[in-house]
Structure 1
């Protein structure tokens, strides 16, 4: 189960709204949604959380590029909403790199049902290829200083685990408005 909310900073304080992400397919869509939540190009923070498995923050300040933080990239990669946040840039991949396509598509010519020599079966029955962990690392990824100027240091953000969004909202002074949309 997911929870997603927008927090828009205004001159009167934070305004919160829950949001549906059904029509959001890309980071650009999410950024546009955030920009629509404010009138004066104020700061907007998008919170996305999946049942204590991971959370993500996207900060949009006017027309600047969004700043992204994901608490557990490997967990987020298994989620359709997490995949929106895990851009090639955030993962350090070059989308123009021809080797990226070979990583995504099995072109080695092995027969159906016959694993290639580089594929291993994990304890949970899932197949993995050496180097998968390099593609999407376990643990935090992105701009850990995304909220530093708002009172939440990198160290404190990276230490958050369960109920992270409530703790973040508390530090921002937006706990009451976030609670109204939860």
Structure 2
């Protein structure tokens, strides 16, 4: 073994040993004196990329997720849609509602920034190959998820989560359904 390769090996070993702390490896983003459990857990919750959902406050001019009004039973509503006769896939007026299925008292678990939330709301599904008489769930794609977060007792909180792949303004609740 040459002196040069021995020097490289010893240098690498020295680097790896300098990364160790008393109880294991030290993360480069945390100084060992600042590594407390609470702040470490907070950092784990931070997204490495942007979240799929947007968090917002539900206002009176917005539709009620998972129901027609706050007094209605809450649940998950699936809205089956098809493409209209013309238009762009990202434009909401291109779509036509075929039918909807409402599952009252059902909830869904959604992860937002590392936290798991129980939600009720609406899921808009598009079958790109649907005809007037046929719509298949197996080939459908989600174009919008619109939820309201529930508290630990199952009550609405007024906080919403939304994911969308189209340009539908949040306050639009009805359009043509052929």
TM-score, normalised relative to structure 1: 0.23
Structure having the higher strand fraction is 2
Bigger-Rg structure (1/2): 2
Structure having the higher helix fraction is 1
